Amino acid sequence: MIVVVDYGMGNLRSVENAFAFLGIKVKISDSPEVLRKAKKIIFPGVGHFGKTIEELKTRRIFDILKEKINKGVPYLGICIGMQILFEGSEESPDKEGLGIIKGTVKKLKAGKIVVPHMGWNRIKINKSIVDNKENLLFKGIKDGSFFYFVHSYYCLPEEKKIITSITNYGVEFASSVHKDKVWALQFHVEKSQSLGLKILNNFNKLC
């Protein structure tokens, strides 16, 4: 069972509809019992770091989510679903993330760029990682492909070897990462048309 985590925010139905288009059934839930049974987990959305962490704890799924990831259940994080994997964020300095990935989340600096970063942008794929047989999330995706972004913060992993793609928007940032059974994307696959659908289909086939 693929569970899409419901934390009261985000594009849950958009993700569900994208999978339905692919003929893949997912279950949207914030139930601790349902999450414990998940074979794969998707955490989508747009949201505030601190409020997202609070919602996970209020719904009693913060610790379960962390436990499932640590046990090797495949996880796909989208936008805030990527950011909460880190230890913390400048958006909410008083809140701790899941700490699955060492590093922090930084704010994009306005000036020559408009913040939030909203719209289509190119990803530069780290082919040495993506071509690994254990990481096929980007199978069929060409280097330089465009995906849809909506964010004001970006992830800064301590381990550069986990970065699977980078994007430039005022600063060069990690637009996707992969570590063990965790895949995470700063861009929105559910809004990225055919290439986004290809990535979701690839995730369904992983593991």
Residue length of the chain: 207
Reply yes or no on whether 188 is catalytic. Answer: yes
Q: Which of 117, 151, 178, 188 is catalytic?
A: 188
| Closest by Cα among 71, 24, 77, 26 to 47 | 77
Q: Half-sphere exposure (CA, 13 Å, Cβ side) for 124? A: 7
How many angstroms separate the CA atoms of 151 and 66, rounded? 23
Which residues contact residue 10 at a Cβ distance below 8 angstroms, ignoring those fewer than 6 apart? 44, 45, 46, 47, 79, 80
Which tokens go with 172?
Answer: 């060069």
Q: What whole-number distance in Å separates Cα of residue 58 and Cα of residue 125?
A: 37
Residue 79 annotated among the catalytic residues of the structure:
yes
Which residues share a beta bridge with 187?
none
Query: Which amino acid type is present at position 104?
Result: T
- Whether residue 159 lies in the annotated active site: no
State the residue for tokens 């985000």. Answer: 10
Catalytic residue among 16, 79, 151, 155: 79
**In one letter, which amino acid is 146?**
F
Around 120, how many Cα atoms within 13 Å sit in the side-chain half-sphere? Answer: 8
CA 196 from centroid of its chain's CA atoms = 13
Of 16, 55, 91, 190, catalytic: 190
Q: Residues with catalytic annotation?
A: 79, 188, 190
